[in-house]
Amino acid sequence: MLPSQFGFRAVDVLVLVMLVLGGARTLLGPVVGAGAVVALEELLGEIGQWRTALLGALLVVLFLSFRRGIVPTLRSAYDASRAPDD
């Protein structure tokens, strides 16, 4: 295959951001991720190619900082705050 035959599909990237943002291994994660991405899309508006660059940067930050997703990370932080101090 030639490199020119590969296409960049924005929908695929959005779904990936939704899953990674919310947490792919939880029931609530993709729902939270989808809501966050829709809100982000509304905030970004029509910024053209910068939208793709921003989504790519968001993916890098998510992979480095929130490997499990936001929902599992927040759940762990909440559980840790509710645990009795010994």
pLDDT band at 2 (very low <50, low <70, confident <90, very high): low
Q: Which residues, 6 or more positions from 71, have their beta carbon under 8 angstroms from its beta carbon?
A: 22, 23, 26, 28, 29, 32
30 or 14, which is more confident? Answer: 30
Q: Write down the pLDDT at residue 4.
A: 55
- How many structural domains does the chain have? 1
Span 34-62, pLDDT tens digits: 898 888 888 777 776 777 778 778 778 87
Q: What is the pTM of this model?
A: 0.65
Q: 45: domain range?
A: 3-82
How wide is the angle at C-alpha 5 spanned by C-alphas 15 and 1, nearest 5°? 115
Least trusted range by pLDDT, from 1-5, 16-20, 23-27, 39-43: 1-5
